[in-house]
Structure 1
């Protein structure tokens, strides 16, 4: 059984941070989309997706990140990823996502 998947949203008024923990796949992607939508609804200056606790992300999860990035861009909100572990970073690089989304 995979590790439990958890999202959390922290908003300090300027930055909304969405922390992803566990695995993002077809079973959990709706939670990611929901967390990103909640973050967008707060209208922060920036959305940061914290990937430090993420152990796996599949193509549906990458699609959710693209969804969040596009919605943020359209609303004039900065969107970036942070804390990717080497295995997750490799997936992000291979997918081409880092060509459009910042990773810090």
Structure 2
């Protein structure tokens, strides 16, 4: 099954959600960047990246999350991560990403 990255906008147009599934690595990072850019293009008040379906992320994937965070911050849009599994959360903590990006 191919990795899937879904971008959706909630009914009130305030929250764009990007759901990551499978693995985010050098082979899929461009798709993640595109999904985050597409989410920002909807002009939401916040972007939520749902990590519940994510099973692996490498340094290029972390870089894509930083890319999304920086673009959102520059546009005045709240950016947060949600629902990581314990192993993914550990990677986020060890990388230092959670020192700048909100986890809820």
TM norm structure 1 = 0.96
TM norm structure 2 = 0.96
CA deviation string 1:39-79 (max 9, x = no partner): 01111000000000000000000000000000000000000
Unaligned 5+ runs, structure 1 = none
- CA separation in 1, counterparts of 2:95 and 2:4? 23
Q: What secondary structure does 1:17 align onto?
A: strand
2:18 paired residue number: 18
Deviation at 1:4, TM superposition (A): 2.4
1:34 paired residue number: 34
- CA separation in 1, counterparts of 2:38 and 2:91? 25
- RMSD of Structure 2 on Structure 1 (CA): 0.7
1:89 paired residue number: 89
Instruction: Tell me if 1:73 matches 2:80.
Output: no
Q: What secondary structure does 2:43 align onto?
A: coil
Q: Which runs of at least 4 in structure 1 moved beyond 3 Å after TM superposition?
A: none
